[in-house]
Amino acid sequence: MMRSIIPAEELVSKARAVGQYYGFIPLATLTSKTRGSARTNANDALMLADLVLDPIADTVVHFLKQCRNAACAPTARQPLFIWHTNIAQGRPAPKKATIQFHALGADRALADAVVIRALLALTRDLFHSEPSIRINSMGDKETRARYARELTNYFKKRAATLPEECVTSAKEDAFLAAEIAIARECVEDLPSPIEHLSDASRKRFEDLLEYLEMTETPYELARNLISRGGVWSDACFELVVDGQRVAWGSRYSDLARRFFPAAPFSAIGAVLQIASEGSAVKKASLPRLRFSFIHIGDEAKRHSIRLAEDFKRAHVPLAQHIGIESLTEQLSIAEKSASTYLLIMGRREALENSAILRNRQTQEETILPLEGLAERLKAVA
């Protein structure tokens, strides 16, 4: 049976570990310099007035406000992979805790894959169970408009056999009608949004599925998983444990652009929600990093996604930033971390199933096979 309540200390500890190994920085770290100086924006309500915000979208909006108020935004060179929680240090645990993973400024499907893998890792750790990953794509604005027309016609043709609530709702919001029909399990042939994807959305979705398959990430296509309103776009996914949804994610680039109109960027995020308990969470003393994992190219990125769980399970003092593709930015982050070793994988190493271990002080290099890599690094550490 799925755990219904998880101690706040455990939630934060495990989310922090997942963030380290998958390349997500705590939002609290990025906003610490501006804490107490951020101002709210009186125009927020007006800016969002035309949107239908579900509870998860509300959570993302609060996250974006914090990023904007702290002037925390990605640049053209460096996207931001951030994790965040409403569990505050020194305060009692909230009744409903949230753990979020976001990729800001990363347009490629790699970002979607990394967010999904991070949520998968955290869900496994928290619930001691193998979750189901259900995934679908609602596409871009063009696709959503096309799919909305298809749903409207569908409900018109079947008005005589469907519940009155579905038919009435379809006149105002075809997506709401679809949600009602799915919840009531009163339709079996509801049109699938995948069948109406634009060329650009289809390519993005295919790229994501390729990343998931190449990294051996289990998933199932869920044609009845849809997102309503103008907030979400392209791939949407949920993680389910014992028949209950524990996390939801999707792209929300148009929503992010409302908060950062001067520097519009792509955005994807996911939110895990669970009841929590416990006294105030204490400040954690983080161990010194020994290894910074640098990877260049898609083949290396796929290996790094698969290896993240091995490193985490073995408690290797290593950090990596899978979603950041720039070699320069990865090296810059490694320099700031003052790690003793660089673990480097380019295309050649990825194809040869190896990585280069470089001692940053002596510049001595050793080639290590990927098989058993975590244990070899533990021996070095």
371: CATH: 3.40.50.800
Q: What's the confidence (pLDDT) of residue 53?
A: 85
Is residue 324 domain-resident? yes
Q: What is the mean pLDDT of residues 214-239?
A: 91
Do residue 119 and residue 251 come from a single domain?
Answer: yes
Is residue 23 domain-resident? yes
Is residue 20 domain-resident? yes
pLDDT of residue 126 exceeding 90: yes
Do residue 348 and residue 265 come from a single domain?
Answer: no
Do residue 19 and residue 89 come from a single domain?
Answer: yes
Q: What is the mean pLDDT of residues 338-342?
A: 93
Task: Kindly list the distances between the CA atom of residue 175 and the CA atoms of 38, 145, 333, 364, 373, in Å, as whole numbers in the listed order.
Answer: 37, 11, 43, 59, 48
* Residue appearing with tokens 């040869």: 352
Q: Which of 114, 86, 75 is nearest to 26 (CA)?
A: 86
Do residue 166 and residue 19 come from a single domain?
Answer: no
Q: What's the confidence (pLDDT) of residue 40?
A: 58
Do residue 151 and residue 45 come from a single domain?
Answer: no
Is residue 313 domain-resident? yes
Angle between helices 199-214 and 298-313 (to 10 degrees): 50
Q: What's the confidence (pLDDT) of residue 112?
A: 96
CB 47 within 8 A of CB 346: no
C-alpha to C-alpha distance for 217 and 104, rounded to whole angstroms: 22
Q: What's the confidence (pLDDT) of residue 183?
A: 86
226: exposed, middle or buried (Cβ count in 10 Å: 0-12, 13-18, 19+): buried
* Structure tokens given for 268: 């994807």
Q: Which of 213, 248, 277 is the last residue of a domain?
A: 277
Do residue 173 and residue 127 come from a single domain?
Answer: no
Q: What's the confidence (pLDDT) of residue 184?
A: 85
Do residue 305 and residue 344 come from a single domain?
Answer: yes
Is residue 200 domain-resident? no
Do residue 267 and residue 310 come from a single domain?
Answer: no
Is residue 300 domain-resident? yes
pLDDT of residue 82 exceeding 80: yes
Sign of CA dihedral 116, 122, 125, 126: negative
113: CATH: 3.30.930.10
Do residue 122 and residue 237 come from a single domain?
Answer: yes
Task: Check: pTM over 0.85? Answer yes or no.
Answer: yes
**For 148-173, how does the pLDDT look when each residue is reduced to its tens digit (9 = 90+)?**
999 999 999 988 888 888 889 988 88
Q: What's the confidence (pLDDT) of residue 163?
A: 87
SS3 assignment, position 335: helix
The DSSP code sequence of 194-257 is GGG--HHHHHHHHHHHHHHHHTT---EE-TT----SSS-EEEEEEEEETTEEEEEEEE-HHHHH
| CA angle (255, 257, 258) in 5-degree steps | 70
Is residue 353 domain-resident? yes
Provide the mean pLDDT of the chain: 90
Full residue range of the structural domain in which residue 149 is found:
141-194
Is residue 206 domain-resident? no
User: What φ, ψ does residue 286 adopt, rounded to 5°?
Assistant: -85, 135
Q: What's the confidence (pLDDT) of residue 186?
A: 83
Q: What's the confidence (pLDDT) of residue 93?
A: 85
Higher-confidence residue of 281 and 119: namely 119
Do residue 113 and residue 247 come from a single domain?
Answer: yes
**For 8-52, how does the pLDDT look when each residue is reduced to its tens digit (9 = 90+)?**
999 999 999 999 999 999 998 888 765 544 455 667 877 888 887
Do residue 80 and residue 167 come from a single domain?
Answer: no
Strand partners, 167: none
Q: What is the mean pLDDT of residues 165-186?
A: 88
**For 296-329, how does the pLDDT look when each residue is reduced to its tens digit (9 = 90+)?**
999 999 999 999 999 999 999 999 999 998 899 9
Query: How much of the chain exceeds pLDDT 90, in percent?
Result: 66
Query: How much of the chain exceeds pLDDT 70, in percent?
Result: 96
**For 255-272, how does the pLDDT look when each residue is reduced to its tens digit (9 = 90+)?**
999 999 988 889 999 999
Do residue 83 and residue 51 come from a single domain?
Answer: yes
Q: What is the mean pLDDT of residues 334-344?
A: 93
Q: What's the number of domains the chain is made of?
A: 3
If pLDDT is split at 50, 70 and 90, which confidence band does 80 have?
Answer: very high
Q: What's the confidence (pLDDT) of residue 222?
A: 93
* Structure tokens given for 380: 């070095």
